[in-house]
Chains A and B, each alone.
Chain A
Amino acid sequence: MEAEGSFGDLPTDAFEQILLCVPPSRRRRLRLVCRHWRNVIDERTPVRLGGAKTLAFVNHRPTGSAAYVLDDVVEGRVRELWSSASNPNSLYSHMRMVGTCNGLLCLYDESAGDIALLNPVTGETLDVPGPPGHHLRPRQGAFSSAYHKRFSFTYHVATERYKIVHLAMNGQTRAMDVVQVLTLGADASWWNPGPCWIKLSPLIQRRK
């Protein structure tokens, strides 16, 4: 038994259990070891690309916001997923959409400057405090009505984490050259966030 057995042809079930104990980003790199490992990794632990390709948008009307799924691009079939009109007093009536990822909506609260994540299918919500100092920004000016556009909402496949990216103004130079990233989730559960903004600036050089 000792002579014939080797980790190069470890039984698939046992190997799958081992792979599940390795973080996803490191698991990918194990595909380079040998064919057997690559095949098991590809078959048993596929990279989750998100089954639901939600295409949603929010209309900011005087009455509130709503999100839709576009089922058929050609025929233009649209389903309303969620609407603040159904609950006019809801916290979410001042929401603008930042983005959508794997069926989750990332919304920006214009009045408070905070962010909310929403899973319209399960009704789960998660409030995320806006970036530090963000609440103090002046609300007038050309940018204020489209401030949500400075945020983006993404899913990082290698780490299986959701991230919110914020393009902010540099306090000293008044240039838009500060990038802040919030990584959501601890371990496997992204729904339980450990919010902390990291500063990556100056990432973007000011263009003349």
Chain B
Amino acid sequence: MAAATDDAGDSNEMIRVVSSDGEHFEMPEAAANLSLVLRHMIEDDCADAAGIPLAVVAAKPLAKIVDYCTKHAAKSSGLTIEEAEELKRFDAEFIEVDTDMLYDLLVAADFMGVEGLSKLAVQRTADLIKGKTPEQNRETFGIVNDFTPEEEEEICKENEWAFQITKPPSRLC
């Protein structure tokens, strides 16, 4: 399940990582450097043939993260407008995932210190949350309503004003 090896930037060395469930992955050093944690490990000479173990990242999200880093490392500097747009399209497609994967990516990107991916996952989650009622949010994200009916009523009351949608002002003259 190795990632693309062709356009690896200036370093040809491949970095091996191991998921929490024991799967091995490979990516170019430039890609691994996008992760703060991996970069520190590489700098400290902890990247050996056995691979860097990532104790809290499972194979599924790790495969996605390796993809993300490889793509972004290959196109990191001196982007043309077309390349920047292509990268944007890649991101948009990349983050079209179900909420389980989105959660895994949020946690894993945060843990591995992949800033760009963290931002991407955060924005995607915010976009999903924004326009929904509390009930729809619970459904979407599989959250159990753990309020007592009394508590719920109390919060509803204090929030009453927040349910009024403010219309954007239109010009008078």
Contact = CB atoms under 8 A, between A and B. Distances in A.
Nearest to B123: A21
Contacts of B172: 132, 180, 196-199
A2 B169 contact: no
Contacts of A33: 134, 137-138, 143, 145
B103 to A, nearest CB: 5
Interface residues of B, number: 45
B102 to A, nearest CB: 8
Interface stretch (B22-30, B45-53, B54-62, B74-82): B54-62
A22 B131 CA distance: 9
A21 to B, nearest CB: 3
A199 B144 CA distance: 44
A11 interface: yes
Contacts of B118: 14, 17
A8 B162 contact: no
A26 to B, nearest CB: 6
B170 A198 contact: yes
Contacts of A13: 110
A149 interface: no
Most buried by B among A1, A22, A132: A1
A8 B122 contact: no
Contacts of A35: 146-147
Contacts of A10: 103, 106
Nearest to A161: B166
B60 A32 contact: no
A97 to B, nearest CB: 25
Contacts of A112: none
B128 to A, nearest CB: 9
Given A7-B141, A32-B134, A1 B122 contact: no
B162 A7 contact: no
B122 A17 contact: yes
B56 to A, nearest CB: 7
Interface in A10-46: 10-11, 13-14, 17-19, 21-23, 25-26, 28-35, 37-38
B149 interface: no
Contacts of B129: 18, 22, 30
Nearest to B99: A7
A25 B162 contact: yes
Nearest to A197: B172
A17 B172 CA distance: 37
B52 to A, nearest CB: 17
Nearest to A158: B162
Contacts of A198: 169-172
Interface of A: 1-2, 5-8, 10-11, 13-14, 17-19, 21-23, 25-26, 28-35, 37-38, 132, 158-159, 180-181, 183, 196-199
16 contacts: A1-B104, A1-B107, A8-B143, A11-B107, A13-B110, A21-B126, A32-B147, A32-B152, A32-B159, A34-B143, A34-B144, A35-B147, A132-B173, A158-B166, A198-B170, A199-B172
Given A32-B152, A181-B169, 18 more contacts: A1-B57, A1-B61, A2-B58, A7-B103, A7-B141, A10-B103, A17-B122, A22-B130, A26-B130, A29-B162, A31-B155, A31-B159, A32-B134, A35-B146, A132-B172, A132-B173, A158-B161, A196-B172
